Structure 1
Amino acid sequence: MPLIMSILREVRDPRDINARHNLAELLFLALAATLCGAKSCVDIAEFVEGREDELKEIVDLKHGCPSHDTFSRVFRLLDPQELSSVLSAFMSALRRELGLGSPRGVVAIDGKALRRGYEKGRAFMPPLMVSAWDAETRLAIAATRALGSDEVGATLALLKSLDLKGCTVTADALHCRPDTAEALIAQKAHYALGLKANRGRLFAAAEKNFAAAGEIACFETRDTAHGRTEVRRASILPLAKLKDLPVFPGLKAIGRIEALRT
C-alpha cells in the first residue's frame, strides 16, 4: 500500500493552497471505489462514507469524508495525460505485487467510445479509448485515448509501449492490416485478427480458397438458451493450402466460423 500511495503522490495538485483533502488520498479513494463498481462521483462519495472506518486504516481522512463535489472538482482540474501515466505505473506496480510478469497468454485490443464523455455541442464525436486487456489475469494492462477517433493510430502507438513477447494478440476487423501485423511481429507476438469484407482482397481470397477446399474438418459447438439454438462450426486452412493471397506479414493460416441460429 505505501508503494501505491507514493505513486499517486506523483500527480501534481492543481488546486489552490487552501485545499483541505490530500490529493493522493482522493485518488486512492476514487480508485478503490471504481474498482468496487462506482460509476460517478456520487457513488465514490457514498462508497467512502459507507466504509469510513476501514478506509481510515489506510488513509488519514483528517477532514472527514470528501463530498461528491470535491471529487468532481478534482477530476475536472487534473491533467488527463499525467493521471494516465500514474495509473499505468499503478498497474505495473500491482502486477509486480501480485507476482505477475509481462502477459504471456491472450491480449485483447479493443476501442470503446466513452458514453456521455463528449464536449458540449459535439455529441457526434465522443472520446475514443483503446485498451489492452490481459485475458489470463483479467486486468487491463494499458489504455490510451485515440485522438481524432484514430483507433488504428492509437493502437499502433499502444503496441509499441507493451511487452508482448510470446502473446497472442486479438483484435477486430478494423485492425486486420499489414502495419498492425508488422507491429506485432516486431514485438515478437502472435496475432488472431478478425477478417471481414472491409479487407476486400484478403477477404475475397479467403472465400475463394475455402470454396475450392470443399469439405474440410471442423470443430462444432451447439448452444441452446433464451429460446434459440446456435450452432457454430470452426475450420482452418493453413498457409500451405492457401493460394493467390495478397501479401500479409506473418500470415500462417486463415480460419472460418460459420454460425447458424434457429
Structure 2
Amino acid sequence: MSSLITILREVRDPRDANARHDLAELLFVALAATLCGAKSCVEIAEFGEGREDELREILVLEHGVPSHDTFSRVFRLLDPAELSRAFAAFMTALRRGLGLPPPQGVVAIDGKTLRRGYEKGKAHLPPLMVSVWDSETRLAVAAARAPGGSEVKATLDLLKGLTLKGCTVTADALHCHPAMAKAVLAAKAQYALGLKGNHGPLFAAAEAAFAAAGDLAFFETRERAHGRSEWRRVSVLPVHRLADPPSFPGLKAIGRIEAERTGGDGKVKRAVRYIALSKLLSVRRLAQVVRTHWTIENQLHWTLDVVFDEDDARTRKNNGPENLAIIRRLAHNILRTHPLDKPLASKMRRAKWSKEFFFELFTHMR
C-alpha cells in the first residue's frame, strides 16, 4: 500500500499551493472507492465518509475526506499524462511484487469509447481510451486517451514507454501502417496486424497471392455454442509468394482467416480477413494469436462495462472522463491479481463488506 501511495505522490498537483487535501491521498481514496464499487465522484466521497476510520489507518486525512466537488474538480484539472505514467509505474511495481516477468505472449491493443463521457453538445465525439492488454496475465499494461480521437497517435505514444521484447503485438486494421510496424519492431516485438483496404496496395497483393496459391496447408476449427455454429480456416503465405508486394517494415508473411457463422435463425455470414505478420507463424499458432487478441474485448472492455459500469459513467468535463477511466483500470488490475478464485464482481462486493479483504487487496501484492 505504501508503495502505491509513493507512486501517487509523483503525480504533479494541478492546484494552487494552498490546496487543503493531499493529492496522493485523494487519488488513493478514489481508487479504494472504485475497488468497492463507487461509480462517480459523489459515490467516491460517500465511500470516504463511510469508511473514514479505516482510511485513517493508512492515510493522514488532515482535513478529513474531500467533498465530491473536490474530487470532481481535481479530476477535471489533473493532467491525464501524469496519471497514465503513475499507472505504468504501478503496473511495473505490481508485476515485480507478484514475481511476474514483463509481458511475454500476445499483447493486444484496442480502443474503447467512453460513451457518456462526451462534452455538452458533442455527443458524436465521446472520448476514446486506448488500452494495452497483456493477454497472458489478463492485466492492462498501459492506458491513455486518444487525443482528438486519434487512436493511432495514442498507441504510438504508449508503445514508446513499454517493454515488449519477445511479445506479439496485435491490433486491428486501423493500426496496419508503417509507423506502427516500426514502433513494434523498435520495441523488439513482433506484430500481427489486421489488414484491410486502408492499406490498399498490400491488401490487393495479399488477395491476389492467396487467389493464385491453390491448395495451402490450413488449420480448421468448428465450434457450436449459444445456438450458433462457427467455422474458421487459417492459412499463411510467406511474403516472397506475393507478387511485387509494397514496402512494409519487417513484413515476413500474410495470414488469411476464412470464417463462416450460422446463427440460430439459419442465416449464414461469411468473412475473410487478412493479417500482416512480421514473423512466419504456423497456421495453428496464428489461429491462437488471433483468438487471443479478442480477450481484450471479452476480459477487459466487457468487464469495465459490466462490473465498473464504464459505459454509463457520466463524468464529462475536461480531463475527468479519462482520469476516472485510468482509476478504473487500476482497480481492475488490483482485483484481477488477487488470488481468490471468484469473479471480479464478487471480489468488489467483498472489498465493500469486509475491512480485512479490502486491506488484503493491497497487502497480497508485496
Scaled by the length of structure 1, what TM-score is found?
0.86
Q: Which amino acid aligns with 1:14?
A: R
Distance 1:38 1:92 in 2: 25
Query: After the TM superposition, which of the residue ranges 168-177 and 97-106 deviates more from structure 2?
Result: 97-106
Contact 2:84 2:142 in 1 (8 A): no
Secondary structure of the 1:199 match is helix
Aligned match of 1:203: 203
Structure in which a larger fraction of residues adopt helix: 2
Alignment: residue pair count: 261
Equivalent position SS for 2:132: strand
Question: Identity across aligned pairs (percent)?
Answer: 71
Superposition map of 1:108-257 within 5 A: 108-257=108-257
Greater relative CO, 1 or 2 (CA 8 Å, sep 6+): 2
Question: Residues 37, 242 of structure 1: CA spacing in aligned structure 2 closer, same or farther, 3 A cutoff?
Answer: farther
- Could you say which residue in structure 1 is the equivalent of 2:58? 58
Contact 1:88 1:142 in 2 (8 A): yes
Distance 1:164 1:149 in 2: 25
Q: Go from structure 1 to structure 2 and tell me whether the alpha carbon gap of 1:167 and 1:37 turns closer, same or farther (over 3 Å shift).
A: farther
CA distance in 2, matches of 1:162, 1:94: 15
Q: Distance in 2 between matches of 1:75 and 1:59?
A: 20
**Is the CA contact 1:220–1:234 (under 8 Å) kept in the aligned structure 2?**
yes
Q: 1:189 to 1:35 in 2, by over 3 A?
A: farther
The AA in structure 2 aligned to 1:30 is A
Q: What is the deviation of 1:228?
A: 1.5
- SS across alignment from 1:117: coil
Residue identity in the other structure for 1:234: V
Distance 1:174 1:237 in 2: 22
Show the counterpart of 1:80.
80
Secondary structure at the counterpart of residue 250 of structure 1: coil
Structure 2: stretches of 5+ with no match in the other structure: 263-366
Amino acid across the alignment from 1:141: V
CA distance in 2, matches of 1:151, 1:165: 23
The amino acid that maps onto 1:164 is: L
Provide the secondary structure at the position in 2 that maps to 1:108. strand
**C-alpha offsets along residues 129-149 of structure 1, whole Å, 9 cap, x if unaligned?**
222111122222222332222
| Worse overlay, 60-69 or 21-30 | 60-69
Per-residue CA shift, 1:80-139, capped at 9, x if unaligned? Answer: 333333333222222222223422221111222322222222222222222211112222
Distance 1:16 1:183, change over 3 A: closer
Rounded to whole Å, the distance in 2 between the matches of 1:194 and 1:207 is 14
Letter of the aligned partner of 1:200 in structure 2? G
Q: Cα distance 1:148–1:76, how it changes in 2: closer, same or farther (>3 A)?
A: closer
Which residue in 1 is equivalent to 2:31?
A: 31
Q: Deviations over 1:166-197 (max 9, x none)?
A: 11100110111122112211221100000112
What letter is aligned with 1:85? R
In 2, Cα distance between equivalents of 1:37 and 1:199: 43
Alpha-carbon distance in structure 2 between the residues aligned to 1:251 and 1:233: 22
Does the aligned pair in 2 maintain the 1:160–1:183 contact within 8 Å?
A: yes
Is there any run of 5+ residues in structure 1 with no aligned partner, and where? none
CA distance in 1, matches of 2:37, 2:239: 45
Letter of the 1:74 partner, please give it.
V
| Counterpart Cα distance in 2 of 1:26 and 1:86 | 14
- Using the TM superposition, name which of 112-121 and 59-68 deviates more: 59-68
Moved more, 89-98 or 192-201: 89-98
Distance in 1 separating the partners of 2:241 and 2:17: 67
Contact residue 14 and residue 79 of structure 2 kept, 8 A: no
TM (norm. structure 2) is: 0.64
Write the letter of the residue equivalent to 1:40: S
Contact 1:13-1:23 within 8 A present in 2 as well:
no
Tell me the C-alpha RMSD between the 2 structures: 2.5
CA distance in 2, matches of 1:197, 1:162: 29
- In 1, the alpha carbon distance for the partners of 2:19 and 2:215 equals 75
